[in-house]
Each structure stands twice: as C-alpha cells, then as structure tokens.
C-alpha cells in the first residue's frame, strides 16, 4: 500500500491513504471502482490534486491556476445491446461517461466525435455556453452521424450584488445527450449518454475517491442489481458521490449509515448553517447533487447498501453496495457474506 496523501487546501483534514492496488489514484472514475462492471474504464478529467487513476491507464490532466482551458476529445460509441457511451479515448466509452471537473473560472472545450450513425450531442447543466454549444437540435447544435463538433463550456464565480450575490457555477452538475431520438435526447439518455460534471470553488475539499450514481428509469448506471456498481473505499477515506437523475420515473437516493448536508457541497458552513442533514433525497429527471462522506466514519467498515427508497424500485433491482474496506484495504468481517447475499437475493428475478 502506498501512502500518497497530500495536504488539503484547507488544512483541516487528516492524511489519508489510498486503496492498495490503485496507488496514486486520487480521482478514481466510477466505473473503475465498480465490481463486476462490464464497461471499460472511464478516465476522469481530474482538475483537483493533479493525478488520475494510473490503474485505469488514463491521462492525467493537471490542475493549473483558475482560468485553465481544458481541451478534451470525447467519443460517442455504441457499446452493443442498445447501449451507447461517452469516452475520452477511442474504444473506451463507458456508462456513465467520464467524470469531468473544472474550477470556477475554467473553460472546457470538448471536441465531440460521433462514431454512431445517429444524431448525438452533449448538453451540460449548470455551466455557461452560447447557443452554438446548447447541444440541442432546437439550436442546430448537435453532431450528425459521423460528425465532429466542438462545444465550449465556461464557468464563473459568484458576483456580489450588495447584500446578495448572484450565484456562480459551482456545483455537482451533469451532461447528457440532447439529440438522439427526439428533440430532448430521450433515446440517447436511455442508451447511456450521460455523465457527471463538477465545478468546484477554490478551496473546496477534495476527495480521495469519486462515485457517479445515475438513476435512469429503473436502472442504476444502466444496470439492475445484482449488476449495479459496487463502490469501494477504505475506512477513513473521503469519498464523493455524484448523484444524477434521468428518465421517466421518480426516485429517492438513500445511503446506509452515512449522511450529508443538503447544501452545495454536502458540508455545512459552520454552526449557524441551518441546512437540513439528510441520508435520502429526491433524484428526478435532470436533477443532480453531490456530497462527500468519510467512508465508515463513526460506523466502521462493512458492506453498506445504497438504493432507491421507492419500495418497488429497490425490490426491482435499484440497489447496490458501498463497500467500506478496513483501513489497510483488507475485507471486513462478514462483508463478503453480504456481497454474496446481495448477488443471491437482489434484483427483480429474486422476488
């Protein structure tokens, strides 16, 4: 095990160790941590502490000063079985697509390569774009079959308005297709064309691990239990969940034994912050939120469930595992038994 922990920008958190076998992995893309995932690795565009998952073979995009222009190429690729994904390299498309990150003040230029025979696009939430980067047929902003097109996303900090401030663009956002099938990209979203987008504010706390969870219709990351992602972290690591809702159903996201504040970051802004603390939240079409928790903090390591709390959705397979390993990366007592139980009992085929 290699200790690659680095000082935090805020100086408030203790040093952490990263998962054995994923040395130097500061930003682990969601699908890498997914046990049994059939999708390839989704390389994250890491703008945080400077490195991405070496184990995933993804290029590191170092964090520069605010105002960085991130130029990336994204490939839309068919993955078979009616599934389609975004990827940062040819042949590497995943569902969800790569987790993209920026700081307020940054710009991202995305050259989108459409390798499919349908119209596709990339439409972001939260960030700034002109009509040419809207990603909609409505604004003639999409890629025809085989076409390449560049989309530009910008960000900004908040602006003082006297006692108020106009919001900036910091947040847990997301991107998705807005062109395939209908004017609203319904076919593209259903096929898997979605991913997480984080815009951080300078000084925000950075996580050790990141998990993207997309409730899409009755699926999680286009899978049903027991094939839903198992997210893994070591006891004491700071993990970040990016939760996104899509499709035609209503959902609530619930995580066992961990909780967060219903704020921009999941943290409170000190003792006078009146925000509600939650462990369950609505997650409907186009919604997104994120938060960080210390894996197993105050509750210990073990296998914990995350699931939609609409009863028949969880019964039908909208559930998965958050595996908190021991601090040294070893398996906690009983966790393998829980994982086995999950594979034997969860999902619509079991009831």
For residues 197 and 101, give the distance between their C-alpha atoms in angstroms, rounded to a whole number: 6
- Asked if 81 touches its own copies (CB under 8 A), the answer is no
Q: Which residues, numbered 167-226, are part of the site for its own copies (CB under 8 A)?
A: 167-171, 182-184, 186, 189-190, 203, 205
Question: For the residues of 194-247, what is the DSSP string, one character each?
Answer: EEEEEEEPTTPPPPSEEEEEEEETTEETTB-TTSS-EEEEETT-EEEEEEEEES
With CB under 8 A as the contact rule, the residue among 273, 328, 331, 349 that binds its own copies is: 273
Q: Which residues, numbered 301-330, are part of the site for its own copies (CB under 8 A)?
A: 302-305, 307-315, 319
- Asked if 250 touches its own copies (CB under 8 A), the answer is yes
For residues 100 and 72, give the distance between their C-alpha atoms in angstroms, rounded to a whole number: 10
- Asked if 83 touches its own copies (CB under 8 A), the answer is no
Task: Give the nearer residue to its own copies in terms of CB position, either 115 or 210.
Answer: 210
Q: How many residues bind its own copies (CB under 8 A)?
A: 106
- Asked if 346 touches its own copies (CB under 8 A), the answer is yes
Peptide bond into 333 cis (omega under 30): no
Task: Give the nearer residue to its own copies in terms of CB position, either 40 or 290.
Answer: 290
DSSP strand pairing (97-103 vs 194-200): parallel
Task: Give the nearer residue to its own copies in terms of CB position, either 137 or 329.
Answer: 137
DSSP strand pairing (107-114 vs 148-154): antiparallel
Order of all β-strands in the sheet with 69-80: 83-87, 69-80, 107-114, 148-154
Shortest separation between residue 193's beta carbon and its own copies, angstroms:
12
- Asked if 64 touches its own copies (CB under 8 A), the answer is no
Candidate ranges 48-56, 57-65, 66-74, 300-308; the one touching its own copies (CB under 8 A): 300-308
């Amino acid at each position: 095990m290699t200790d690659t922990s680095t000082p935090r920008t805020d100086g408030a958190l203790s040093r952490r160790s990263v998962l054995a076998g994923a040395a130097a992995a500061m930003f682990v893309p969601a699908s890498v941590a997914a046990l049994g995932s059939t999708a390839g690795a989704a390389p994250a565009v890491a703008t945080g502490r400077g490195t991405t998952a070496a184990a995933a073979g993804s290029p590191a995009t170092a964090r520069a000063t605010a105002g960085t222009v991130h130029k990336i190429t994204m490939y839309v690729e068919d993955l078979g079985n009616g599934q389609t994904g975004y990827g940062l390299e040819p042949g590497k498309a995943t569902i969800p697509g790569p987790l993209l990150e920026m700081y307020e003040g940054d710009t991202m230029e995305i050259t989108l390569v459409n390798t499919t025979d349908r119209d596709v696009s990339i439409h972001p939430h939260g960030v700034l774009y002109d009509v040419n980067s809207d990603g909609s047929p409505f604004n003639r902003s999409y890629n025809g079959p085989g076409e390449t097109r560049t989309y530009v996303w910008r960000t900004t900090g908040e602006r003082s308005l006297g006692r108020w401030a106009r919001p900036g663009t910091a947040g847990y956002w997301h991107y998705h297709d807005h062109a395939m099938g209908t004017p609203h990209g319904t076919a593209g979203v259903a096929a898997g064309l979605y991913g997480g987008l984080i815009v951080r504010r300078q000084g925000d706390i950075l996580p050790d691990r990141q998990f993207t969870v997309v409730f899409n219709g009755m699926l999680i990351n286009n899978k049903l239990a027991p094939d839903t992602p198992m997210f893994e972290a070591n006891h004491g690591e700071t993990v970040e969940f990016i939760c996104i809702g899509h499709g035609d159903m209503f959902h609530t996201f619930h995580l066992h034994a961990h909780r967060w504040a219903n704020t921009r970051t999941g943290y409170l802004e000190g003792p006078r912050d009146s925000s509600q603390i939650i462990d369950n939240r609505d997650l409907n079409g186009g919604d997104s939120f994120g938060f960080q928790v210390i894996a197993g903090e105050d509750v210990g390591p073990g296998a914990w469930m995350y699931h939609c709390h609409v009863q028949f959705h969880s019964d039908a397979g909208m559930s998965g595992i958050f595996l908190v390993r021991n601090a040294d990366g070893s398996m906690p007592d009983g966790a393998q038994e829980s994982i086995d139980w999950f594979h034997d009992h969860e999902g619509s085929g079991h009831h």
